[in-house]
Amino acid sequence: MRNKFDVELEALNTDLIEMGSMIETAIASSITALIQRDLHSAERAIEYDNEIDEMERRIERRCLKLLLQQQPVATDLRTISTALKIITDMERIGDQAADISEIVTRLAGEKDLLEIKNLKKMAEATIKMVNQSIDAFVAKDPVLSNEVIAYDDVVDDLFNQSKTELIHAIQTDSRYGEQFVDLLMIAKYFERIGDHAVNIAEWVVFSITGQHKNQKIL
């Protein structure tokens, strides 16, 4: 028979998977909003941010209860501290999906300038990283985690290319300077989302191996 602690740990895992799926939805909505200039999707991503925040607090409370009532050791302790770290990165991804959507909302009615090819590529690359980091977490898969970590270079390169492309756009079409800067901010948010996906992947590796790249932060 499974004990109460295992049941609660399982419930924690289910909540984390749900929160992961929430941020996948949020980022997908913000990208649809951006690419298709769809304000309903933008609204959805912004609303989702509140739900994600609530989910973060629910998981936090669950972790604290487990930590303080059960005083877990070794692997279980690692599982719980990983959960506390991962939800912080998930929550920030939710924030950034909302930030992107707010810019999209502000740009509604303006000329469609989304010919910036690298920005679309960034959107695709970033959502891939987020989805894979969640998959790696759900499957406790260190190989997939390492793929996510390696893929960050692709997103960083795309960010630099988007930046160059947008600087050029600002210089050649002075009417749309402000809008191009807004797109630059979106590129920056994508780059940051990629960083948070890397963090999640690094925490997955830690939860399996007990080793984290940056031991100091533990």
CA distance 102 to 138: 30
CA distance 76 to 79: 5
CA distance 136 to 140: 5
Q: Which of 14, 36, 50, 209 binds its own copies (CB under 8 A)?
A: 50
- Nearest approach, Cβ of residue 141 and its own copies (Å): 28
- Nearest approach, Cβ of residue 46 and its own copies (Å): 13
Q: Which is nearer to its own copies, 81 or 146 (CB)?
A: 81
CA distance 166 to 177: 9
- Nearest approach, Cβ of residue 178 and its own copies (Å): 7
Q: Which of 108, 168, 209, 210 binds its own copies (CB under 8 A)?
A: 168
Is residue 184 near its own copies by the rule CB under 8 A? yes
DSSP state for residue 174 in the 8-state scheme: G
- Nearest approach, Cβ of residue 41 and its own copies (Å): 22
CA distance 37 to 41: 9
Q: Which is nearer to its own copies, 134 or 166 (CB)?
A: 166
Give the per-residue contact string, 67-106, with its own copies (x = CB under 8 A; - = no).
Answer: xxx-------------------------------------
Structure tokens at 66: 């487990």
Is residue 181 near its own copies by the rule CB under 8 A? yes
CA torsion sign, 201 to 203 to 208 to 211?
Answer: positive
Is residue 175 near its own copies by the rule CB under 8 A? no
For residue 88, the one-letter residue type is T
Structure tokens at 65: 């209860």
For residue 182, the one-letter residue type is D
Which residues here bind its own copies, judged by CB under 8 A? 50, 53, 64, 67-69, 163-164, 166-168, 170-171, 174, 177-178, 181, 184-185, 188, 216-217
